[in-house]
Each structure stands twice: as C-alpha cells, then as structure tokens.
Chain A
Amino acid sequence: MTSVGSTALTSSLPPPLATEAKLSIEGVRAWFGSLEVLHGIDMPIADRSVTAIIGPSGCGKSTLIRSVNRMHELTDGARLEGKITLDGIDVYGRDVDPVLLRRRVGMVFQKPNPFPSMSVRDNVLSGLRLTGGLSAVRPDEIVEKALRDAALWDEVKDRLDKPGIGLSGGQQQRLCIARSLAVSPEVLLMDEPCSALDPIATSRIEDLIHSLKETYTIAIVTHNMQQAARVSDYTAFLLGGELVEFSETNRLFTSPRDSRTEDYITGKFG
C-alpha cells in the first residue's frame, strides 16, 4: 500500500526540485514498539533550501526528521526501515557511525535547550568540546562567527560569560542554533523551533532561517502553516504517518493536488 502511494506520487510529479537533493528519504517506515508511526515516506530534501514538513500533531513529522540524523533510534523500542541518503550515502549503512553523521546533520529542538551549567560562550563551544575538536582551532573566532550567523552576536557580545539559560526564550533558541552551527554541519534539522516562542522571537528565527539557507540545507518541522509558507521553498504534508503531498511551497499552498491537503491548509481539520 505504501509503495503504491509513493510510486503514484513520484510518477504524477514533474521532477520536483530546482536544485539537487542533499538528502533523499526512500521508503522510510518507523515504529515505536509495535506502533507504526511512518508508513513509507519518500521525499527529497533539496540542497541549500528550506523544506518544511507540516501536518497535524501525531502525524509523524518529528519522527521523520529525527530519523534523518538517527535520533529516532535513541528512543527505547524505536525501529526503522528504509533508506535515507545524504549525498548519496545511506545514513543507515553498515559502516556509518551515527555520531559522525550527527556532526554533519545538526538539530534544533522544540524547546530551547542550552546546557544550563554553561555560559553563552561555552554553549557555543560545547559541540566542539563534546566532539574533541576544540584543540585545533581558535575558540573566540568560532564563538563570534557562530553567534553572528545565528543573529545573536550583537545581543550577547557583552555577556558571553553569563549563563546561557539567563537569556530570553528566543535568544536561547538562537543560542542553540549557534551551538549547532559551531560544529559546521551541512544540514540543519529544526523540530518546531518556534513553538515555544512569542511572535517577535519567531519572526527573528524565521529571518535567520532565510539567511541560513544560503549555506545550509534546512528541514523544518512546523505545525504552523503560515510559517511553512513564509520560510520554505518546498513543503511536505504528512497525515497519519503518510506523505500526502510534496511540492514547491507556493504550489502546495495555492493549488494543492490532494483534497486532504486543501482541507488541512484551509483549516478544516488539524
């Protein structure tokens, strides 16, 4: 059933991406214990652009994004089938070390989670300390660059030694983004990064996503359709663990092909 859905999808589509795919998700099924939460997902994630994954709560969008950097398997009883390739290499391949994969695929979580015992500076450097990569480089430059890239430098440059959890929620989230950027990943996964933030902080993060896509491949999970429309180039709509529709964001929101997509984006359910 899932394979039928996915072949139908790919055959009915023109080649969906303007740029080449950085990541390719092929036939991914995922379980928590005996509960199947993803029923075979096929979609690309385009290089240096923003791909939004939308859908109602419990549709499996977080699981999908967490399977890309192999965070899904850290949960007890979690299981996965299928293939996800990064630059053509299967991340679930036998010789792939998930630890090394996660250095190339960074992640920002729903709740801002800076390390509470660390200063702003140490939070930015934490990735390098944790991966043992700090010795070779000049830390001050890294801190400044990551914080500038995360559009946080001007706000925190005078309190780099203050605790990271002393910042406001939106600043904390940008600190977490800076922390991810400091280990220079190629892909940035964002799991509802703005759902705990107020509108002003949210718009700052959205601006940031806009500038980050010059350098990074970004996949963002959101339950906020306006946000998906604002920030993304491509959008995938998930429902009940299946990919209902994937296309360019403009097209998905203006002329959805599937009636369920239309119902969802016009607010008939979810």
Chain B
Amino acid sequence: MTARAEPRRAPGPPGPRRVPATPPLTAFAATSGTRHNRLSEHVFYVIALAAVLLPLLVLLGMLVGVTITGSERLSWDFITSFPSRKPALAGILPGLLGSFYLMVLTALIALPLGVGAAIHLEEYGKRSRVSRLIELNIANLAGVPSIVYGLLGLDLFVRTLQLGRSLIAGACTLSLLVLPMVVMVSREALRTVPQHLREASYALGATRWSTIRQIVLPMAYPGILTGAILALSRAIGETAPLVVVGALTYITFVPDGIDAPFTALPIQIFNWVSRPQHGFVVNAAAGIVVLLFTMLLLNGGAIYLRNRLQKKGTA
C-alpha cells in the first residue's frame, strides 16, 4: 500500500494526526480488572482447558492401548496379506483396498450429487416454501440411523437394481448416508459467499451459471471440501450399513471391478473382534491402527488440499 494514495478514511483534514493522550497501562489495569473478574476469567479458562484435554486423554489412552496390543502384528506383511484361519498369517489387504475403493466411489457419487443439490437449493430455489421443506427434511435425514440406510440400500441397490453384494452397491448405500451431510455443509459454504459479490457479477452481465462457476464456487470450495472430508471420514468408518448390504468378512482376493464382492476395514475388524482366539483380537487391534492411520492420512491430505485452495482463493 502506498502512502501517497488516499489514506483510508482519514478522519480529519490532512496533516499530522493528533494522538490523544493514553493513560499508562498499569493505571488502566488497576481500574478495570476487579478481583472478581479475574477469578471468573481463571475459572473459565480451566474449564475450557479441561474440556479440551479430557477427550484428548481418553482418545490417547485408547490409541496407546490399541497400538500396544496390535504392535506384534503390525508389519508390512499384515497390510499385504489376505485373511486366514491362522491369526498369525491373516492380513488386512482386502479390507484396506475395499475401504479405499468404497471411499473413492462414494466421493464420486455423493460429492457431485450433494454439491449440485446444494447449488440448486441455495442459488436457484432460494427461499421458496419447497426449498425450506427440503431443507428441513435433509436435516432430518442426516439424523437417520445408518442401519436404516443399509436396509434401504439392500432393497434398492442390491435387490431392485440387481447390483448384488458389490462394491458399487456398498458405495451407493454409503453415498445415501453421507449425502444429507454433504448437502448441508455445501449450502453453508455457499452461504458464506457475500451477496454483493454475486450482484457485482450479475451487474457485469454474467449469467447465473458463470457467476456460480467463476465467483461463488471458488470462494466456497474450502468450506465444501471440509464438509466432504468429514462426510467421507464418516463413510469410511461405517460398518452397519455395509453388513446389511452384504459385505463379506472373509475374502481371499482383491476386488477387481465395481461389481465385485468386497469387504471393508471396519467389517474385518468387527469380524476379528468377535472371534474367541486371542490372536484375532491382536489382529483387530492392528486393524484399528491401520484404519486410524489411513483416516489420518486421508484427512491430512484433504486438509492440505483445502489450505492450498484457500490460499489460492484469497491471495
């Protein structure tokens, strides 16, 4: 910013500005901070700190426990092996790949649908009665138990559409599950784009679509991406709907197409936990570590991507 060009909101005539005399800081502190204020300030700080630390400690304890239990099985072999009847030989490869494919497919299905729906509701169908009704229903759908989505997926995708117990049926079911969340978060993100920027674009003779594409979406991307990350994290951790849709628990091959039978990490873990042998419990612990690490990796990647977009968006 150059000094010669228009100082922002210069309050008076140009010239050296008069600085009002400021009382010394110590005097200010003595008059405005009573003992009572300082005490409640302190108490609140401690409460807030506890609220942060307590869940973190519980989580950390869990993580440490799982890691210790699973450590004896955590190895490259564990990741690249197929399930086996012998716990020491069993690996997690089909589950890991299954979860990965599921997530990619779910993202491909749910994100365009969800963002598209959000754009329609927010940019086109604004504030009509139908739109408000839809909004209410979407919020409700987000609270429906996941098992219900599983049953819907079983009936709709597996049976009616005859997709069978396949990856694509699982991904469609998970897409249904996360769709409300994607729509809601995307709408929220679109709403943060100031109206005056849309107006500026329209006033230049832009169509609605080019305004959305060139002005609104670039500014909403970071928010939308955050929502997508949360939604996909939820999808990858879901077990119940996949069980209903028919994910297998014991497969000795890698899915070779979207119509192939599949399993997923949480299902593999669930299966191992419910076995009596101690070896499988260890396997489950190792599986949990792999699952958490995968999620960490995915979230980290997505957050990195978002920050880069955000920088590009505002720089």
Contact = CB atoms under 8 A, between A and B. Distances in A.
Q: How large is the interface on A (under 10, 10 to 19, 20 to 34, 35 or more residues)?
A: 35 or more
Given A117-B314, A130-B210, A183 B204 contact: yes
Contacts of B202: 71, 74, 102
B51 interface: no
Contacts of B6: 168-171, 197-198, 200-201, 204
Contacts of B315: 117, 163
A106 B203 contact: yes
A99 B206 contact: yes
A50 B315 CA distance: 37
A198 B9 contact: yes
Contacts of A69: 203
B218 interface: yes
Contacts of B194: 113
Given A130-B206, A183-B205, A200-B14, A113 B200 contact: yes
Interface in B194-218: 194, 196-197, 199-207, 210-211, 214-215, 218
Given A111-B196, A129-B214, A198 B204 contact: no
A130 B197 contact: no
A76 interface: yes
Interface residues of B, number: 33
A147 interface: no
Contacts of A76: 126-127
A126 B205 CA distance: 11
Contacts of A4: none
A61 interface: no
A150 to B, nearest CB: 14
Interface in B180-196: 194, 196
A253 interface: no
Interface in B1-22: 1-2, 5-10, 14
Contacts of B127: 76
7 contacts: A100-B205, A126-B204, A131-B205, A155-B5, A180-B204, A198-B6, A201-B6
Given A69-B203, A163-B314, 7 more contacts: A103-B205, A113-B197, A116-B314, A117-B313, A117-B314, A155-B5, A197-B9
